[in-house]
A = this chain, B = another copy of it.
Amino acid sequence: MGEEEMKLTVRLYDIDASEPTVLLHDDDCLEIGVAENDRITITGRHRAVGLVSRSDTLVNRGEVLVPEALLRKCGASDGDVVTVAYSHKPDSVRSIRKKMDGLKLNRDEIDSIVEDILDNKLSKIEISAWLTSLYINGMDIDEIADFTMSMAETGDILEFDSPAVFDFHSLGGIPGNKITPIVVSIVAAAGIMIPKTSSRAISSACGTSDFVETFCDVELDADTLRNITHEIGGVFSWGGSMNLAPVDDLVIKVEHPLGINPRAQMLASIMSKKVAIGATHLVVDIPTGAGTKVPTIEDARAYAKDLMDLGEKIGMHVECAITYADQPVGSAVGPKLEARECIAVLEGSDHPASVIEKACDCAGIILEIAGFENGAAKARQILESGEAHRKFMEIVVAQGGDPNLKSTDLEPGEYSYDVVSTKSGYVHAVKNKDVVAIAKAAGAPADKGAGLLIFKKKGQRVQQGDVLFTIYADNEAKLKRAVETARKYPPMDIEGMLIKRVAPPNVR
């Protein structure tokens, strides 16, 4: 059915969209029998598929407006005559319908969806319906395992000359979490292989790669990553520079505006990257607390169970660490500031308890899985002995960093502003979301010197006039913006010890 085809003249138009949108005249649409958001095939020397938008003003009858990438795909040039015809929906749309109907998908059906998203064959409407169905109807653990392997297999899968390859992942959502290079350095110093890839900030102020790239190169290709890992044991790479489960980035573009992250998608997305990096053992940090993705211990336990069940299905040993995340980790938030604090911990020149404890606890779990006793104590010993710092420097140098790197080399932005307390009392809360908003207003993560240094944490005593935190920025306008943000959304609650007086009703 729908055998109607037409000869139309191609006109190039410049639009960059995640969808291959073509523009047709209303009357030509009627003639071909296509509606808005239907697909058409455009045949020049080759055949390509576009998504229809209609207009009776911007396009003439007999014309089809095609963006450049699609024009190249169909092997035609501006002004050529091409054949345009209705194109059926891909089979993956049927699989999406099946999930909308609450049915279980098999591996082939999941593959069809994953591959068609990757090949740009599904429209935003269809991907949105897919994610909404996943959010509402979910997937069982078999489906999630298939989904994970399907996502992993759309990209490269690395292999290492080792029976045990460790990985470490944080669910994120907490600012100042600069522990990853510390964990990797401790673990690699113990002789354990850990090819760690990290992400850049999506909605946060600073991802691991955002601060690591202030002191060494993070855009490693797969060969370089493998060589460094084989030689040194660890690496701090940006995941985006390799072709690991690449479909994820396309899905995020639709997830983000919906404000959802369906459990099945989240689990498959994390675990597919671990399969792709060749991990056999994985420790997941689950930051838990107000203002994070995981507000309560019950939620954290559910995530941990999901991750471990999924690990069992796909043959990966998974353990989880539920960590405290009611306030930022350490003092620094922002690329250079976090780099400085991270390196200072490795040098032994600074001792922020929350950073050291969290890093050693997480590294400790990995050490115990690998056969060491008293993992956390062993991790602390490796850190305090300077072994972790030596391993860190080996990795930094292998990634093109300065062999004489010192924490003090990393200087925050030259514009700064001290925020002081207007009253005396105790710090009752340091709010993650507001801290992130201020750092972002100051220019993080794009401006490397931007961010915050926090001097008072939860429970500490504050005098009126004490500096609570300093905001840094690379230019004055952004500093001003960040200060305004801090004024509108004060990130700290300071109260006397008496939070609320409760009196009987007859006392006014």
Q: A489 to chain B: which residues have CB within 8 Å? A: 1
Chain B: minimal CB distance from A199 (Å):
14
A23-B16, A53-B17 known; A485+B1 contact, CB < 8 A: yes
Within 8 A of B (CB), among A243-299: 253-254, 256-260
Within 8 A of B (CB), among A1-53: 1-4, 13-18, 21, 23, 27, 30-31, 33, 35-38, 53
| Contact (Cβ within 8 A) B259 A1 | no
Q: How large is the interface on A (under 10, 10 to 19, 20 to 34, 35 or more residues)?
A: 35 or more
A484 contacts the other chain (CB 8 A) = yes
Q: A133 to chain B: which residues have CB within 8 Å? A: 132, 136
Chain B: minimal CB distance from A53 (Å):
6
- In the assembly, what is the distance between CA of A13 and CA of B14, in Å? 8
Chain B: minimal CB distance from A55 (Å):
4
A324 contacts the other chain (CB 8 A) = no
Chain B: minimal CB distance from A177 (Å):
19
A2-B437, A440-B2 known; A100+B260 contact, CB < 8 A: yes
| Contact (Cβ within 8 A) A100 B136 | yes
A5: nearest chain-B partner, CB-CB: B481
| Contact (Cβ within 8 A) B136 A253 | no
Encoded as 1 (CB less than 8 Å from any B CB) or 0, chain A from 201 to 243 comes to 0110000000000000000000000000000000000000000
A137 contacts the other chain (CB 8 A) = yes
Q: A340 to chain B: which residues have CB within 8 Å? A: none
Q: A1 to chain B: which residues have CB within 8 Å? A: 433-434, 437, 440, 485, 489
A498 contacts the other chain (CB 8 A) = no
A252: nearest chain-B partner, CB-CB: B35
Chain B: minimal CB distance from A67 (Å):
9
Q: A58 to chain B: which residues have CB within 8 Å? A: 14-16
Chain B: minimal CB distance from A127 (Å):
8
Which segment, of A118-126, A141-149, A308-316, A331-339, faces chain B?
A: A118-126
| Contact (Cβ within 8 A) A4 B257 | no
Q: A30 to chain B: which residues have CB within 8 Å? A: 446
Encoded as 1 (CB less than 8 Å from any B CB) or 0, chain A from 59 to 72 comes to 10000000000000
| Contact (Cβ within 8 A) A202 B35 | yes
Q: A258 to chain B: which residues have CB within 8 Å? A: 93, 97, 125-126, 129
A79 contacts the other chain (CB 8 A) = no
Within 8 A of B (CB), among A49-106: 53-55, 57-59, 89, 93, 97, 100, 102
- Provide a sorted-by-A list of 8 A–B residue pairs whose CB atoms are within 8 angstroms: A1-B440, A2-B440, A16-B58, A36-B256, A89-B257, A93-B258, A125-B254, A129-B132
